[in-house]
Structure 1
Amino acid sequence: MTWAADGFGGVGKAARVRPPAVGAPDFKRMLGADAWARLPAAVRRRFGAHAAAQEIVYRGRMRVEATLAGRLFAQICRLIGTPLAPWTGDDVPVDVDVHQDRRGGLTWARTYHFAGRRPILVSSTKLMDARGDLLEVVRGGLGMALDVIEADGALHFHSRFYFIEAMGLRLRIPDLATPGRAHVVHEDLGGGAFRFTLAFNHPWLGRTLHQDGVFHDPEA
């Protein structure tokens, strides 16, 4: 069963959950036909159902920022893998390898090339659970539930809550013990380019992490 945290750290009633890994997310179904149609063709191509069967590498450069609290969260998370970039920098070269994982989900494997440091891999997988909800998971059983919407022709992902899974149980993590609510934006720029923006906003600490960069389709 799951202990679900309410608000900023309260604990709600326990409820049994099903295993989350059931396959690749169907973004068209989640958004609805009208919202999906408002996305540029390039975004629909990158996130369409066929994307799960391909391996694609996008290359770009990013500005990676974090407060002291954000850097602390990133370093602590290295104990279960590396779900967050632990360093900061301007104009950081980043390679993003998108491929299907063994569960059928879509994995984004991001390799950051910070100046003067060895390349570091940050990887996460988007998948659907048994109820059709969108999850993003990393190593160690850590994950977050996401809402996805279309706004002004861009794709927006908003985290709803964080959780950790162990032995078939999903334990919700209080908001105060996380880097904050995540907001990810995929905005097409035309000409085979897109902007990727990632921000975490903590209820007490404000913005803890922010990344912004431009990437290019491999054929562009």
Structure 2
Amino acid sequence: MASTRVPRSSVTSASNTILLDDHRFHDLLPDEAWGRLPLAIWRRFSKRFADGETVVYVGTIEQASFTSAGWWLAQLARIIGGPLPLCSETGVPMVVTVTEARGGQIWTRICTRSDGFPQVIHSAKRFAGPTGLEEYVGCGVSMALRIFVEHEALVFRSVGYSLQLGWWRLPLPASLTPGDLTVTHSDLGGGRFRFALEIVHPRFGKLIRQSAVFMEATS
């Protein structure tokens, strides 16, 4: 599976830019757990990029569902930039780019729709916070993440939300959060992988689920 790199100036050959020496995700797991990951996932989360370089994944949304409460949650989240999927359409293309930035990675998700412009979702994974990994979604809101290996998949789970105002970081009470967010990255072989997002509220149950199958873009 060839990779696409988008450096600041020009594209350089993969042999010159791909180094499997990024230990930031590995360091968040015991060696035994990391060793249970398929080789393809290990390689995907061990690539070292220079600041500003980007890897591109192209895929198709295979599943998307909302409860009524989940739909309203996605609409309300537009106040802080719209970090949640807004459409339940399936079979449409989706593109994800991961750009190396100082202190973490910027993730951009482009969800196409048959009508209207695509939805663009931005977030930043930062190797910081109480668990060593957090996802910043905008307007000062971030969630702490823990990662696990389950059934040979890499799983990200939220373990708390916070609001940062200047130097102050304020934990958000459970009543002001959407519930537990889980993202699962599972390898399908042949260069393909599934990326699934699920939000479960302690009172209202499963609110949102979206999954898509991707491949790394060819140069």
When normalised by structure 2's length, the TM-score is: 0.83
Match of 1:39 among 22, 37, 40: 37
Contact 2:130 2:144 in 1 (8 A): no
Tell me which residue corresponds to 1:9: none
Note the C-alpha offset of 1:92.
2.7
Tell me which residue corresponds to 2:211: 212
Q: Describe the shift of the 1:92–1:25 C-alpha distance in structure 2 as closer, same or farther (beyond 3 A).
A: farther
Structure-to-structure mapping, 1:29-178, within 5 angstroms? 29-48=27-46, 50-51=48-49, 54-62=53-61, 63-101=63-101, 103-129=102-128, 133-178=132-177
Measured on the aligned residues, the alpha-carbon RMSD in Å equals 2.0
Contact 2:153 2:187 in 1 (8 A): yes
Tell me which residue corresponds to 1:197: 196
Distance in 2 of aligned mates of 1:118 and 1:44: 34
Q: Describe the shift of the 1:122–1:200 C-alpha distance in structure 2 as closer, same or farther (beyond 3 A).
A: same
Match of 2:25 among 12, 24, 27: 27
Contact 2:105 2:126 in 1 (8 A): yes
SS in 1 for 2:91: strand
Q: Describe the shift of the 1:132–1:67 C-alpha distance in structure 2 as closer, same or farther (beyond 3 A).
A: closer
1:36-82 Cα distance to aligned partner (Å, 9 max, x none): 22211211121115156541110111122211211211111112212
SS in 2 for 1:88: coil
Gaps of 5+ in 2: 1-21
Distance in 2 of aligned mates of 1:55 and 1:153: 26
Contact 1:45 1:51 in 2 (8 A): no
Distance in 1 of aligned mates of 2:81 and 2:142: 12
Note the C-alpha offset of 1:130.
5.9
Note the C-alpha offset of 1:34.
2.1
Q: Which shows bigger deviation, 37-46 or 193-202? A: 37-46
Contact 2:104 2:127 in 1 (8 A): yes
Tell me which residue corresponds to 1:17: none
Distance in 2 of aligned mates of 1:50 and 1:215: 20
Distance in 1 of aligned mates of 2:50 and 2:73: 30
Distance in 2 of aligned mates of 1:202 and 1:65: 15
When normalised by structure 1's length, the TM-score is: 0.82
Tell me which residue corresponds to 2:14: none
User: Match for 2:166: what amino acid?
Assistant: M
Q: Which shows bigger deviation, 122-131 or 200-209? A: 122-131
Distance in 2 of aligned mates of 1:109 and 1:29: 24
Q: Describe the shift of the 1:66–1:130 C-alpha distance in structure 2 as closer, same or farther (beyond 3 A).
A: closer
1:131-181 Cα distance to aligned partner (Å, 9 max, x none): 662101112111101110112211001111111111111122222322210
Greater per-residue helix proportion: 1
Contact 2:131 2:144 in 1 (8 A): no
